[in-house]
Structure 1
Amino acid sequence: MFILKTERLLLRHFHILDGEAMFRVFGDEEVMRFSEGIQTKEWVQAWLRTCLERYYQTWGFGPYAVVEGRSREVIGYCGLFFFPDVAGQPEVEIGYRLARSAWGQGYATEAARAVRDFAFDTVGLKRLIAIIDPANAASIRVAEKIGMQYEKEVMFEGYTHPDHVYVVAAS
């Protein structure tokens, strides 16, 4: 079942058969450069189970598979993640990550704009954040293109450097 449709993309719930497609994302060193590093196929399967068993059932939202409309290929994810404590308050983050083959085509912005609108218009959220490594210029550009602005710096436990929080409020 597709949750959202844009001009070129379809966004839907993940299913366990998306493992290979998502391993092309999470197993790529360049894609994971601003994150925890590359992940194993087992990690990807566990992540998909978390999407199915926790995100969608607990909060009614989560990360969505980004499907290229013409090829029907899963090219990454874009969605909503609940964080119980970001600098002392609960937040919902919009997150996105695409396969390197999908970079530079505006897909991340297109998907993020659709998820932002879904968060405000359907889920009823009043505010979204994006937690971004300050060196990740491409992710910052996507956030800014969907109306987000820098709010503050945060330091998460176990991290060696602070991340930046970008925010957008429902209009």
Structure 2
Amino acid sequence: FGNLMGTLAMMKGLPLTYNSDMQEDKEALFETFDTVAKALAVYPGMIRTLTVNTDRMAAAAIADFILATDAADLLAKNGIPFREAHEVIGSLVGKCTAEGKTFADLTDAEWAEVHPVFATQKPPLTAEASVALRDLPGGTAPRQVALALELASAATEDARAWIDRERAVRETVLSKP
């Protein structure tokens, strides 16, 4: 990160037409390359031996009222100005904090007391439900992620095919006497 900041600062200070000072970026480039290469060398072993505590991850994913924005969004989708929705949910977070509760601890009656919208609709109470709400191109819903992975896989295959074609051309040219 330091090399990036240093390079950006150097580039910012260059006049528009004088680029000889750009030779100073090479040290940062090579140092960064070495650092990334070392990091990549340890990744396979790290990933292979990685143990994920999914229960702990699920709890951390909704800690500290991170889903409060989803609750405010639900109110806004039902015609409540977001400023008002923010105030309603902010008050709810304060109340829950004072009582040592989370959103998941609230009863249906408590939700209905917060706002009439919550009498018939509940905001997402899990990270999975929150993620699933973003079902649009580039969103986090599982369907969108699967589509993005398919597109990335296709692009990777196209790149591999191009590399293979370029290698074949290079080998043909280099093998001629």
What TM-score range do you get, normalising by the shorter chain?
under 0.3
- Structure number with bigger Rg: 2
Q: If the length of structure 2 is used for normalisation, what is the TM-score?
A: 0.19
Higher relative contact order (CA 8 A, sep 6+): 1
Q: If the length of structure 1 is used for normalisation, what is the TM-score?
A: 0.19
Richer in helix (by share):
2
